[in-house]
Chains A and B, each alone.
Chain A
Amino acid sequence: RKEVEQDPGPFNVPEGATVAFNCTYSNSASQSFFWYRQDCRKEPKLLMSVYSSGNEDGRFTAQLNRASQYISLLIRDSKLSDSATYLCAVSFSGGYNKLIFGAGTRLAVHP
């Protein structure tokens, strides 16, 4: 079983739709959680960190469920510019900044 798993998609949604991605992790001792966005053939860029209490940034909401060991990303009112691959990343406890990345979920927003 992979340490961090995501549904690869693609998720094909119309503009204005709400879409949700989940990411499961296997190590219950994980401490830090992130969502990165990656455009085609470009570098990943941090979208948002995920906090225990959940956090929101405009149309994006991230949630953490420690009991079930998953994090989620909700995108409301999807825009064409949201089309990208979304990577979740989990940092395991025990020291240095090692992030384990999921393989990513591809989102395609169409007119």
Chain B
Amino acid sequence: EAQVTQNPRYLITVTGKKLTVTCSQNMNHEYMSWYRQDPGLGLRQIYYSMNVEVTDKGDVPEGYKVSRKEKRNFPLILESPSPNQTSLYFCASSLSGGGILTSYEQYFGPGTRLTVT
């Protein structure tokens, strides 16, 4: 089954304790992205990756890191989580990064609900 998986689905942690949220897709997609979703603010892009070893900042990258060593995986790393990073996180992938006139459907993972106390 074509899908995007995320782990863990739920996480409660304390300020400053490093954590990693994994994301994996089995559709051979080139493009992957991380979003956070907060009430009233919608989905905001944290980081994205056009392909292996190519990553770039989205709109809210502060406090996050990513890596793309393999096509299928795109982990999100919080080196020192803070309470303002409490949010619902989604990983997404699409066939490619598209172009000026092309945009492709993004497939989302099930989400990771993170609470930082």
Q: Which residues of A contact B (CB under 8 A)?
A: 4, 8, 31-32, 34, 41-46, 49, 87, 91, 93-99, 101-104
A103 touching B108 by the CB < 8 A rule? no
Task: Kindly list chain B residues whose C-beta atoms are within 8 Å of the C-beta of A101.
Answer: 35, 42-44
Q: Tell me if A's interface is mostly helix, strand, loop or mixed.
A: loop
* Residues in chain B near residue A4, CB distance under 8 A: 42
Contact A97 B94 (CB under 8 A): yes
Interface flag for B90 (CB, 8 Å): yes
Cross-chain contact B102 with A95 (CB below 8 angstroms): no
Q: Does B53 count as interface, using CB distance less than 8 angstroms? A: no
When A and B form their complex, what is the total count of cross-chain residue pairs whose Cβ atoms lie within 8 Å?
A: 68
Contact B105–A87 (Cβ < 8 Å): no
When the two chains form their complex, are residues B42 and A97 in contact, meaning their CB atoms are under 8 A apart?
Answer: no
Q: Is the CB of A42 within 8 A of B111?
A: yes
Asked if B48 is an interface residue, CB under 8 A from chain A, the answer is: yes
How far is A96 from B48 in the complex, measured between Cα atoms in Å?
A: 10
Q: How many residues of B contact A (CB 8 A)?
A: 31
Across-interface contacts of A45 in B (CB, < 8 A) = 108
Which has the most chain B C-beta neighbours within 10 Å: A4, A44, A49, A87?
A44
Q: Is the CB of A103 within 8 A of B40?
A: yes
List, in ascending order, chain B residues with CB within 8 A of A34's CB: 103, 105
* Given known A-B contacts A8-B40, A44-B90, A91-B103, A97 and B98 have beta carbons under 8 A apart: yes
Do A99 and B42 form a contact, CB below 8 Å, given A42-B110, A43-B90, A44-B90? no
